[in-house]
Amino acid sequence: MNRLLRQFLDTLLHSARNLLPIVLVVGVFQFLVLQQMPDGLLSMVVGLLIVVLGVALFLQGLEMGVFPIGKSLSDEFAAKGSLPWLMIFGFFIGFSAVIAEPALIAVAEQAEIISEGRIDPLILRFLVAASVGAVVAVGVLRIILGWPLHWMMIGGYLVVVLVTFFAPEEIVGLAYDSGGVTTNIVTVPLIAALGLGLAASIRGRNPLIDGFGLVALAVMVPMITVQLYGVVVFTLGDDPAGNGSEVVSVLEEQADTAVPTSASSLLMDLLSMVRDVLPIILVILFFQFLVIRKRIPHLPMVVFGFLLVIVGLYAFVVGLKLGLFPIGESMAEQLIAHGRVFWLYVFAFAIGFATTMAEPALIAVGQKAEEAAKGKINGNAIRLVVALGVAVGITIGVHRIISGDSIHLYVICGYTLVIFLTWLTPKYIVALAYDLGGVTTSEVTVPLITALGIGLATQIEGRSVMIDGFGLIAFASIFPIVSVMLYAITAEFIAKKRGGPS
């Protein structure tokens, strides 16, 4: 117990340090650029403290519950040598982790509004969830058979680029957003635990090379299926006549009711968080007791870990809504209103960097990557490189909205660069690089980026919410892959120059 308490206190201090970049960005822009005191300063401070506590509880819960159960199930299935059951398990874990994801539900509802009813939100959610389930099953097969991930990613993103070329512009941004929101704060650690556990259980597999990659596949395939769905919907239907104002009003209503204000609403929101995690728990229980037919090792510890994940996630989300979202949206609107375009670019870069450094899913995956790499990778250095990639990506995405350029050109060029770098990058880091492009679009980054994109599209004359307001998540996914690959290529080049090991 004392060991767990010390571990939690260390995690709490670590969480506080991780949140400092966001606090600094907000403070600098509010007091030095806008030169005014923020409204609701006390609420912001309380929210930040809740975020720190939530992240610490979440990470502690992962170590106690999610990672052990994922590794245990992977070990059992690998020991049984049952490939069909492993693939079925992978499908249902992927499907159940995504179908109830709140961010996906929100994106699906926005898609229905934007398309004026032509995109069915339930069909969209099932398409995305089924895509993730299917690709996790294929990813499990890849780990077992030892297929190189880079061939799958190159082939997959060639299809993404091809489909994007033909997809209507109304669906492209939403399709990339749909791919991004599948990798959330719960899904990423669970899928990563499955891949790493499986790679560690099979002789001849390397956890770093073979264990990562499931998250990357879970991001890529929904981009394809949603765009294909959009091609069918927009080809068969009439052209949309809406201007996106209804989307903005719905988002404003959601923002107004986002923060619970009473004990009953707190309880209802906590129960909804349990509901979101419940499909995953049911899948785990089914496979553990009816397929493997064994008791869960250290059951009380695992149950307590899952409870910590739920409570930590809830506290984290509530803290963000109380502390950061209102002031972030306010600053973006003020910068646009005052015509400070340069500072808008600086703000996009800074907030992209700061939010990524605070992403719990990135922290968790970074720690696991450092353990799997055995000295080849520094977790903190990787997080810094990923944060720089996100910052650059969001800045380029903001420029696209300001300039009014087509998202097609940017996305196609971005993924063409990714495909090219995949050929050059040391193979030990390819899977991790693609996974890191997925974990950046989680609970901290997605809401802030989405609010920024929609805010820009509504404030700038001549921009359409349905075409220009969405798609920033795509830039937050592409450029971390680029930055990590460039980091690995540079590190290998320097090592060779010095005559050391690559």
The model's pLDDT over 480-491, given as tens digits with 9 standing for 90+, comes to 999 999 998 998
Q: How far is CA 395 from CA 183, 341, 366, 475, 479, in A?
A: 22, 12, 24, 9, 11
Lowest mean pLDDT among 21-25, 260-264, 296-300, 379-383: 260-264
- Tell me how far apart the alpha carbons of residues 50 and 317 are, in angstroms, rounded to a whole number: 9
pLDDT > 60? residue 89: yes
Residue 149 is assigned to a structural domain of this protein = yes
The whole-number pLDDT of residue 81 equals 65
Question: Across the chain, which distance is largest between two alpha carbons, in Å?
Answer: 65
Q: What residue has token string 């260390």? A: 10
Residue 279 is assigned to a structural domain of this protein = yes
Residue 2 is assigned to a structural domain of this protein = no
pLDDT > 50? residue 247: no
Count CB-CB contacts under 10 A for residue 347: 23
Q: How far is CA 366 from CA 4, 83, 117, 189, 356, in A?
A: 21, 29, 41, 11, 12
- For residue 408, the enclosing domain spans 11-497
Residue 154 is assigned to a structural domain of this protein = yes
Q: How far is CA 79 from CA 72, 83, 481, in A?
A: 11, 11, 34
The whole-number pLDDT of residue 502 equals 47
How large a percentage of the chain has pLDDT more than 70? 80
In the chain, the amino acid numbered 2 is N
pLDDT > 80? residue 108: no
The whole-number pLDDT of residue 385 equals 93
In the chain, the amino acid numbered 428 is Y
pLDDT > 80? residue 197: no
Q: To the nearest 10°, the Cα dihedral for 162, 163, 169, 175?
A: -130
pLDDT > 80? residue 124: yes
487 close to 378: Cβ distance less than 8 angstroms: no
**Strand locations in 435-494 (E):** none
Closest CA to 477 of 309, 315, 359, 364: 359
78 close to 201: Cβ distance less than 8 angstroms: yes
pLDDT > 80? residue 397: yes
The whole-number pLDDT of residue 421 equals 92
The whole-number pLDDT of residue 45 equals 78
pLDDT band at 138 (very low <50, low <70, confident <90, very high): very high
Please give the residue that has the higher pLDDT: either 259 or 462.
462
The whole-number pLDDT of residue 137 equals 92
Residue 276 is assigned to a structural domain of this protein = yes
- pLDDT tens string 37-84: 666 677 777 887 887 888 788 778 877 877 777 667 767 776 766 788
Phi/psi for 140 (5° steps) reads -60, -45
The domain total for the chain is 1
Burial class (CB in 10 A: 0-12, 13-18, 19+), 274: middle
Residue 275 is assigned to a structural domain of this protein = yes
pLDDT band at 260 (very low <50, low <70, confident <90, very high): low
Residue 1 is assigned to a structural domain of this protein = no
Count CB-CB contacts under 10 A for residue 378: 14
Please give the residue that has the higher pLDDT: either 460 or 402.
402
Residue 130 is assigned to a structural domain of this protein = yes
